[in-house]
Amino acid sequence: MERYSVEVPNPDYWQRQINCQEACPVHTDARGYVRAIAEGRFEDAYFIARGPNPLASICGRVCGAPCEAACRRKELDQAVSIRALKRFVMDRFPTASG
């Protein structure tokens, strides 16, 4: 008899459904800072991107961008340029602290 595993959804389960965030080694909320940039909330975007990663400005330049590889948007047309957007917002606030 074959057995199936059932997982009861909890906050961790739902978090894993966000592919770009799950793919990121530090689980940065790329979706959150991309949305903030789109809405013109650049300082909010900075703090969202910087929150889990003290090296966010460096990652905006040299990260391998596993988030982009996991981006669901590429199923429609192309992945969001998450790394470039991170670099944009990090360059905008080079000396901000939080």
The whole-number pLDDT of residue 10 equals 86
Which residue reads 């909320």 in tokens? 29
Question: Is 60 exceeded by the pLDDT of residue 7?
Answer: yes
Q: What is the DSSP letter of 77?
A: S
Total-model pTM:
0.80
For residues 42 and 1, the model is more confident at 42
Kindly report the number of other CB atoms within 10 A of residue 61's CB atom: 12
Domains of the chain: 11-92 (1.10.1060.10)
The whole-number pLDDT of residue 17 equals 84
Q: Tens of pLDDT along 76-92?
A: 999 999 999 999 999 99
